[in-house]
Amino acid sequence: MQRPGGGTGTTAGPALRPWLSAQLNELATRNHASEEETLRGKALAAAWRALDEGDEKAAIREEIVALWKAREWWEQPPGKAARQAKGVYEGKEA
């Protein structure tokens, strides 16, 4: 799987920020979903939204957006949950 910056491996590999890697692993396990489904889902967006505002939250958002763009999801999110998640990252969804 291609990562922003050219790395390869799993979505939740060591190149991801620790919070994002941990959330992808935890949510994928809890929801019996793949990392890809978890990355584009509402559960990750809700967890991200709950973070305190600041540089780390902004950096995690940038990483999520880069992962989405690498998969060509950002412009046309695949499905209703992905559209809702994108709205969260854009600050449009409560």
Write out pLDDT tens, residues 7-47.
334 454 448 999 999 999 999 999 999 999 999 999 999 99
Give the dihedral sign, CA 37/41/47/49: positive
pTM of the predicted model, to two decimals?
A: 0.82
Amino acid letter for position 64: I
Residue 91 burial (CB < 10 Å; 0-12/13-18/19+)?
exposed
